[in-house]
Amino acid sequence: MKHILLVFIGGGLGSVLRYVISLQLNKTGISNLPLGTMLVNVVGSLLIGIFLGLALKNNTLNSNQALFLTAGFCGGFTTFSAFAFENQVLLKSGDYMTFAVYTIASITLAVLAVFLGLWMVKGA
């Protein structure tokens, strides 16, 4: 039950922060590009890399902290379902160039951000 509560609280905090960031940045984006969602996904990927790196490095985080931060906070903060929906909207509207840029940039930057987060902790 404790683990469920940790994920629940972390996920709620991550979801609220994602909502606030996306609300602000998606309305001021470049063209139709959902910058808020992309930023949240990249930052969330960086954070999960950092958190997992800290958990692995000399047990800097205990298992409860790691669960709260990764499955909880990062799980609620990142927005794959929103990403998928926004891509569907771009495709349906015929905005294929924005779809391609958004999809490629989001996935590439998010994966690189995980590696960066792990590297940052490993070097510290």
What is the pTM assigned to this prediction?
0.82
Range of the domain at 68: 2-123
Give the burial string for 6-42 (b: 16+ CB within 10 Å, else e): bbeebbeebbebbbebbeebbeebeeebbbbbbbbbb
pLDDT for the residue numbered 124 = 58
pLDDT digits (tens, 9 = 90+) for 27-62: 765 667 888 888 999 999 999 999 988 888 878 899
* Number of domains composing the chain: 1
pLDDT for the residue numbered 46 = 94
Q: Per-residue pLDDT averaged across 59-76, rounded? A: 92
